[in-house]
Structure 1
Amino acid sequence: MGYLKTALGLFLSLLILTSVSFGQGKKAPPPPPGGFPTNQGLSTNSEAPNFAYETLNSGKIKLSDYRGEYVLIDFWGTWCKPCLENMPYLKEAYSKYSDDITFISVAADDNKQAVVNYVNDNDIPWTQIVVPLKADKPVEIIEKYNVRSYPSVFLIDPNGVVLNGAQSPKAKNKLKGDNLIKTLGEVLNK
């Protein structure tokens, strides 16, 4: 029994020493082509990418049509619990600031009827775009806005410049929950 403990101890010591010295002198592998992926979202003060889509109510929408206005873009899905938890805050923000900010939601959802039902059941009055969640290739608007998690909310100023682009967790949380109303009020000086 004592022999087994000693042998096991020696084996583990040798294993630790070998693994510590094994990787010394090696360089880190080079970054992948195109570099490492950046954080999600867009950089603050960057130009917001234009887009053109059909809306849920069969209208057409282009971001460039809203130059001269603040625009809030919310990426969400009916399958996303945090998105649904943020929806009451968006509704409150809309009721408070819809005269000053255009609200657009982009539902990344493979079930368009689920989006229609949710929007109708919850009396969501602002413009909705529905894009597929699981597509063969990335959906253009999701790719342009570098959306990697949901919800992702972007605030764009009247010049088409990103004020808050979900680039970091701290910035991302400025447009969620109670912080949403506070941030919009600060931006509008209200």
Structure 2
Amino acid sequence: MKSFIYLFVMLMFSFGFHLDKTAKDKKLVYKNTKVILNVDDYICSEDQWVYIHDYKGWISGNEHGFLDSAFIAKGQHQVELNFKIPCAVSAKLTFSKNGPLQLGFMAEQDSCLILNIDESSPYINIDCCIKAVQGTLHNFIYEMMQEEKRFRNKIQLYAENNQTDSIRILSDHYLQQLKKCMDETTEPVVVYECFAIIKHVIPGVNTSELFPKYASKFDWYPSLRSFYDRSAVVPPSEEARKSSARYGELRKERMRYTPLNKDLGSRLDLTFEDANGQKIATKDISTPYIFVDFWASWCKPCRKEIPNLKEAVAKYKDDLTIYAVSLDNKREAWQKAIKEDSTQEFLQVIGTLRNESPTQLLRQLEIQTIPANFLLDKERRIVAKDLRGEQLMQTLDSLINQ
């Protein structure tokens, strides 16, 4: 906790220094902006911090800085952040424990952006990939990103069918849309987003004159020049380097976990959620033995073992529970596989969040390959693992009938 407080204080000082220097040198006017986050039970299930950070394009494309941070107490479903900016920014949200590690959004001067953040919010996505409850520019960029996805899908379809004329016509039309957007916008971050799409998404665009033309609209915003002029890419300041280093520490802290002991004889207490979001703990299961099976819908060897599991449950229905932990990213695929295999009799839970990232417990288990399994006794200690085929029945026979 002390490290987080130190991070906040040091970075706020760093931001204040740049604010004064930039406003003086570039004569930019800094104005307040507000970001309100509505978070679900998963996000506020424990105390944590949330940070807003950005690369300050009005200084350079390398000038990382934290704009604000706030503490979220357990059970607190709304948090407010405030900061000053000289123009609209494309910033990122980072939660210290639960929630996105890096989630992009747009914020304007003199405005209030409201976002709903929950377990399904993408773990890492620097675009405006979720629609705001309130936020004109953010939702404008959100729609732009949706249009980009549609363009990519159409281009892929045309490419698969060798429709080169259709690709050219669609690309020309899309380029004209983006030019119109750049003509009309008053915010350099919008031009930046258009530049990125033109450079990385639309095939065969000659940008040698196009980019300088639109960058000249915002000659005080050097990040735009970095698309075509390498001399515009200046090294970060000392404050920015410290900020980047602190963000790196935050990422490492977020990813840190303590591996669980999976040796024979070790106790293994697991809790994962079922399809209804209910937590199912192995310690609450009444049968003397639990077979913990890690699988996924796309894992053919996993699903090949299902007849053996069904046979074991049929023979020892009063003594054995199959605790099936899915590693699927897509819940639809998980549920479809359960229906196809008729495994509703198993206790079906999932080891990934709705944003498709693994839970902390799944990380701690360090499951490298599947199928993988553990047989737990009534003390919930591991008595066997990685049982396949007849091995499971033979092991159960020797344990239960002894």
TM bin, normalised by shorter chain, reads 0.5 to 0.7
Match of 1:104 among 302, 313, 323: 323
The alpha-carbon deviation at position 131 of structure 1 amounts to 2.5
Instruction: Confirm or deny: 8 A CA contact 1:77 1:109 kept in the other structure.
Output: yes
For residue 388 of structure 2, what is the aligned residue in structure 1? 176
TM-score (norm 2): 0.32
Summarize the alignment of residues 104-123 of structure 1 with structure 2, pairs less than 5 Å apart: 104-123=323-342
Aligned residues: 142
Uncovered stretches (5+) of structure 1, i.e. residues with no partner: 1-39, 167-171
Question: Structure 1 pair 184/41, CA: closer, same or farther in 2 (3 Å)?
Answer: farther
Q: Which amino acid aligns with 2:397?
A: G
Cα distance in 2 for partners of 1:43, 1:70 equals 17
Match of 1:42 among 262, 275, 287: 262
For residue 348 of structure 2, what is the aligned residue in structure 1? 128
What RMSD, in angstroms, separates the aligned Cα atoms of the two structures? 2.6
Question: Structure 1 pair 100/51, CA: closer, same or farther in 2 (3 Å)?
Answer: same
Match of 1:74 among 269, 281, 293: 293
For residue 31 of structure 1, what is the aligned residue in structure 2? none
Question: Structure 1 pair 129/82, CA: closer, same or farther in 2 (3 Å)?
Answer: same
Cα distance in 2 for partners of 1:68, 1:118 equals 25
Report the 3-state secondary structure (helix = DSSP H, G, I; strand = E; otherwise coil) of the residue aligned with 2:324. strand
Cα distance in 1 for partners of 2:367, 2:265 equals 17
Question: Structure 1 pair 100/78, CA: closer, same or farther in 2 (3 Å)?
Answer: same
The alpha-carbon deviation at position 137 of structure 1 amounts to 6.3
The alpha-carbon deviation at position 179 of structure 1 amounts to 1.4
Deviations 1:60-101 (A, max 9, x none): 311221367211100000111110111111111111112101
Structure whose alpha-carbon radius of gyration is higher: 2
Cα distance in 2 for partners of 1:103, 1:127 equals 6
Instruction: Confirm or deny: 8 A CA contact 1:67 1:159 kept in the other structure.
Output: no
The alpha-carbon deviation at position 136 of structure 1 amounts to 8.1
Q: Which amino acid aligns with 2:400?
A: L
Instruction: Confirm or deny: 8 A CA contact 1:56 1:127 kept in the other structure.
Output: no
Cα distance in 2 for partners of 1:136, 1:111 equals 7
Report the 3-state secondary structure (helix = DSSP H, G, I; strand = E; otherwise coil) of the residue aligned with 1:149. coil
Report the 3-state secondary structure (helix = DSSP H, G, I; strand = E; otherwise coil) of the residue aligned with 2:298. coil
Q: Which amino acid aligns with 1:63?
A: T
Cα distance in 2 for partners of 1:144, 1:52 equals 12
Q: Which amino acid aligns with 2:332?
A: Q
TM-score (norm 1): 0.65
Cα distance in 1 for partners of 2:331, 2:379 equals 32
Question: Structure 1 pair 136/100, CA: closer, same or farther in 2 (3 Å)?
Answer: closer
Report the 3-state secondary structure (helix = DSSP H, G, I; strand = E; otherwise coil) of the residue aligned with 1:110. coil
For residue 149 of structure 1, what is the aligned residue in structure 2? 369
Deviations 1:115-172 (A, max 9, x none): 1111112211111112339x786533323333111011101110121101x3xxxxx2
Question: Structure 1 pair 136/99, CA: closer, same or farther in 2 (3 Å)?
Answer: closer
For residue 360 of structure 2, what is the aligned residue in structure 1? 140
Report the 3-state secondary structure (helix = DSSP H, G, I; strand = E; otherwise coil) of the residue aligned with 1:103. strand
Cα distance in 2 for partners of 1:102, 1:132 equals 21
Q: Which amino acid aligns with 2:351?
A: V
Cα distance in 2 for partners of 1:130, 1:121 equals 17
Instruction: Confirm or deny: 8 A CA contact 1:41 1:147 kept in the other structure.
Output: no
Question: Structure 1 pair 159/53, CA: closer, same or farther in 2 (3 Å)?
Answer: same
Uncovered stretches (5+) of structure 2, i.e. residues with no partner: 1-259
Matched, 1:158 2:378: yes
User: Which has the bigger relative contact order, CA under 8 A and spacing at least 6?
Assistant: 1
Cα distance in 1 for partners of 2:307, 2:365 equals 23
Question: Structure 1 pair 146/186, CA: closer, same or farther in 2 (3 Å)?
Answer: farther
Instruction: Confirm or deny: 8 A CA contact 1:103 1:127 kept in the other structure.
Output: yes
Report the 3-state secondary structure (helix = DSSP H, G, I; strand = E; otherwise coil) of the residue aligned with 1:43. coil
